[in-house]
Structure 1
Amino acid sequence: MAKVKKKLTSAQKRAKKAAKAERQKKYQWVFVNGKQVRIKRPPIVDGIPVDQFIEENADSFWLYQNELWELMPVEDSIFEPAPATELETKED
């Protein structure tokens, strides 16, 4: 005898649909070695990746506190010799 599958109630259907939507937000499907696998999505802030958001919005003090040296802006004036002043150029 074949078993009859019970139909889901509307509340169960809503819960199943909500769970599926949550999984789709949290994970993405990619191919690894010819197989399709599910991996966690990279974190985003305001619709852009976190790394790009930090590069665009962080000030140098915050970068210094969090030891993100590679993102610190380099000032060219540090490496160039300072322009000579009038006192230094005058010769007696």
Structure 2
Amino acid sequence: AVTDHEVTTDTITADYWKFLPEFTDDLVESMRRMARDHNIVVAGGSHNRVAEDGSLRNTAFIAHPDGRIESQDKIHLTPQEHALGARG
């Protein structure tokens, strides 16, 4: 369950690693459902996730009407993303 959360400079690193990735699976599933229900391709924005290797990634997802999901990790990270420990 999501609770109210104030983002501050003290919480931002933990937010990128712990709080924001909690939403990624639900966002991707919503995109998949929308693509299937409306027979469209949905190109979602990028979302934070923790990859299987334990690294922080900023990943864009594309949902197809047949249920397929394609993804692409951001390649050119900002200095701030590097500072948070993200990898491309």
Shorter-normalised TM range: under 0.3
TM-score, normalized by length of structure 1? Answer: 0.22
Higher relative helix content = 1
